[in-house]
Amino acid sequence: MTYILGLNAYHADAAACLVKDGELVAAVEEERFRRIKHWGGFPSESIRYCLAEAGIELADVAHVAVNTDNRAQRWRKLAFVLTSGISPAYVARRLRARAQRADVKGELEKHLPDQEFRGSVHAVEHHLCHLASAFFVSPYAKAAAVSVDGFGDFSSAAWGLGEGGKLSIEGGVFFPHSLGVFYEAITQFIGFPHYGDEYKVMGLAPYGEARFLEPMKNLVRLKNDGRFELGLRYFRHAAGEGANYEVKDGIPSGGRLWSDALPSLLGAARDPAAPLEDRHRDIARSAQVTYEDAFFNLMQAVHRRCGLEAVVLAGGCAYNSVANGKIFERTPFKKVYIQSAGGDAGGAIGAAFATWHKVEGDRMHRRFVMEHAYWGPSASPRDVAAALGARQVDFDAAGCTIEQIGDEQALCRRTAAAIADGKVIGWFQGRLEWGPRALGNRSILGDPRRADMKDILNLKIKRRESFRPFAPSILREAVKDWFETDGDVPFMMQVFKIRSGKRREIPAVTHVDGSGRLQTVGRSANRRYWTLISAFRDLTGVPIVLNTSFNENEPVVCRPEEAIDCFLRTRMDVLVLGDTFISR
């Protein structure tokens, strides 16, 4: 019996996973415990959870695999330092961070002093981890593998071939050129300054026109072999003091990426407090089109090299679900797999599975497929009862009624009726989702038929920008009737066009361009959520519910106590905790 602990540490979205004999046992992001978005320190609480879920101690772990290798691209790094004019202070900061990341055994001893690690530590190159995180858990025996992100181990993109238990990198793009940096710089430029705000640009883009495409050709230049280059005079990350990316008290920040030359192309940058104008919407649309052109130039080149039907995707840019939804339209690939944590958190899985296949895979001949995303903590009925009891006074003050509904069909029918009645539902079930998306276990649910549901949710709970869409969770068997593309999208990683005749029926989840970032729900992956949506279909004729993450400007709730807190401090109408139905 071999246990491998995979880590993403001292970078945004710190996370841990545990693999046992080639099978995933647990995976969770540290932010869910620390309650700070994108928390980026050492994932000690995630490690403790993974060990507890398996019923083992650190001493039982044979290998710890980390998704970075300081030795990777060492000659490229040296050449850049010697020729770029980057400041000595920047180099010193990077070396200090590198030393901290390298001492994994020391960090385990420091953060888990009550446990002892006796195994081996494996440093796995960043983009190999991304590729491994997609291919080694995919349903494909052979596939092209593509990773695109900001930077990791001096690379911003990599591609290769996975077959059986083998995965090779055949090409890449290296620092300072990066599609992730381009997209983040534009995100900052139009007034979204926080780490991870790129999804806002993606949501804003359909409201604009792509009238800045010509200027943006100065920012990203495409090559015939699929690679790309940045117009570096418009960016700061490769000059002087660099971009000053750092993680302080667990909070990641990247520093400003765009240079003072960028306004000469795009006009003045938007102050985050200023209102959005048509120019900002047009910049967002132009940035999304520019990204897509570069992404599909790369994907087409990869297909020319491999000639395969299947491709797997990872890296932070794999969260660009709009581009992902066009893969079948703009490339010859016919199959795509993107696991639920495509970004740096997912590198923990990649490191673990790459190490498994390196040290044990040939002996075991075992292949794991990640068919669902439910790998995090759960709450027992006793946990729920204790959490409810601790807040009984607050429930009474809020005029709440608490009921136990032990029959699953009855619980789902009752919840579906509340949704159909226009109520906002907090839905807390089973194990926490792995990755940033709420996929039916830590979700807030609403009626997709109501044109005002987006405003209701923003007024009662979310308080987010009005241009950001909400997602449809749809029964897998109904996708072909409601969307123009029929496919499996269990992790909400692709945007498809909603059939034109159906858009008026589900206005709350139809974006301004007629699209929806769907989650397909199968009975085998999440029986209770599938049963709930089926009950809503039986009531309304619509096999879809509106789904958004169970949170209020915080990480997705992990424990019942956090779900209760969110319910009581917002204007949510109903909270369903396991078999407990709470209504105001």
Instruction: Give percent above pLDDT 90 in the chain.
Output: 85
pLDDT in the model for residue 73 = 72
Res 578 pLDDT > 70:
yes
- Tell me the pLDDT band of 160, cut-offs 50, 70 and 90: very high
pLDDT in the model for residue 462 = 73
Report helix, strand or coil for 261. coil
pLDDT tens digits, 69-88: 888 777 776 777 767 666 66
What value does the mean pLDDT take over residues 1-27?
A: 96
Top-confidence residue, 81 or 331: 331
Helices 381-390 and 560-569, interaxial angle, to 10°?
40
pLDDT in the model for residue 72 = 73
pLDDT in the model for residue 97 = 60
pLDDT in the model for residue 215 = 97
Res 96 pLDDT > 70:
no
- CA separation for the pair 583, 575 (Å, rounded): 7
- Quickly list H helices, 342-472: 347-359, 361-364, 381-390, 392-397, 408-420, 453-457
The answer to whether 349 and 27 are in contact (CB under 8 A) is: yes
Res 435 pLDDT > 70:
yes
The answer to whether 377 and 52 are in contact (CB under 8 A) is: no
The answer to whether 173 and 156 are in contact (CB under 8 A) is: yes
pLDDT in the model for residue 80 = 73
pLDDT in the model for residue 330 = 97
Q: At 197, phi and psi to the nearest 5?
A: -80, 5
pLDDT in the model for residue 74 = 72
- CA separation for the pair 423, 535 (Å, rounded): 16
β-pair type (246-248, 251-253): antiparallel
Structure tokens at 41: 């320190």
Res 244 pLDDT > 70:
no
pLDDT in the model for residue 362 = 61
- CA separation for the pair 497, 484 (Å, rounded): 6
**Ordered DSSP codes for 168-190:** EEEEEEETT--HHHHHHHHHHHT
Q: At 207, phi and psi to the nearest 5?
A: -85, -10
Is residue 113 packed enough to be buried (19+ CB in 10 Å), middle (13-18) or exposed (0-12)?
exposed
Res 266 pLDDT > 80:
yes
Res 101 pLDDT > 90:
no
Tell me how far CA of residue 428 lies from CA of 50, 168, 179, 409, 562, in angstroms: 20, 40, 36, 16, 10
**Ordered DSSP codes for 435-478:** SSS--SSEEEEE-TT-TTHHHHHIIIII---TTPPPEEEEEGGG
| 88-102, 369-383, 390-404: range with lowest mean pLDDT | 88-102
- CA separation for the pair 576, 535 (Å, rounded): 15
- CA separation for the pair 527, 535 (Å, rounded): 12
The strand pairing partners of 228, in sequence order, are 222
pLDDT in the model for residue 425 = 98
Report helix, strand or coil for 494. coil
Q: What is the mean pLDDT of the chain?
A: 94
Angle at 9 (CA atoms; ends 255, 171), nearest 5 degrees: 75
| 405-414, 463-472, 524-533: range with lowest mean pLDDT | 463-472
| 22-36, 74-88, 148-162: range with lowest mean pLDDT | 74-88
Residue among 207, 224, 201 at smallest CA distance from 290:
201
pLDDT in the model for residue 553 = 87
Top-confidence residue, 94 or 329: 329
Q: Report DSSP state, residue 204.
A: H
- CA separation for the pair 233, 37 (Å, rounded): 32
Structure tokens at 243: 């971009």
Residue among 162, 109, 121, 119 at smallest CA distance from 140:
162
Res 444 pLDDT > 80:
yes
pTM of the model: 0.95
Most confident region among 94-108, 254-268, 455-469 by mean pLDDT: 254-268
Q: At 355, phi and psi to the nearest 5?
A: -70, -40
pLDDT in the model for residue 451 = 94
Top-confidence residue, 514 or 152: 514
What value does the mean pLDDT take over residues 27-32?
A: 98
pLDDT in the model for residue 476 = 98
- Other beta carbons within 10 angstroms of residue 71's beta carbon come to 10
- Other beta carbons within 10 angstroms of residue 274's beta carbon come to 11
The answer to whether 43 and 18 are in contact (CB under 8 A) is: no
- CA separation for the pair 148, 292 (Å, rounded): 12
Res 525 pLDDT > 90:
yes
- Tell me the pLDDT band of 264, cut-offs 50, 70 and 90: very high
Top-confidence residue, 362 or 224: 224
Structure tokens at 3: 């246990």
Q: Report DSSP state, residue 272.
A: T
| 100-104, 140-144, 381-385: range with lowest mean pLDDT | 100-104
Tell me how far CA of residue 102 lies from CA of 10, 64, 70, in angstroms: 10, 12, 8
Instruction: Give percent above pLDDT 70 in the chain.
Output: 94
Residue among 361, 376, 356, 312 at smallest CA distance from 130:
312
Residue among 266, 208, 249 at smallest CA distance from 467:
208
pLDDT in the model for residue 475 = 98
Structure-token match 């001949």, residue found = 365
Q: Report DSSP state, residue 11.
A: S
- CA separation for the pair 335, 313 (Å, rounded): 11
Helix %, strand %, coil % for the chain, to 5? 40, 20, 40
- CA separation for the pair 423, 419 (Å, rounded): 5
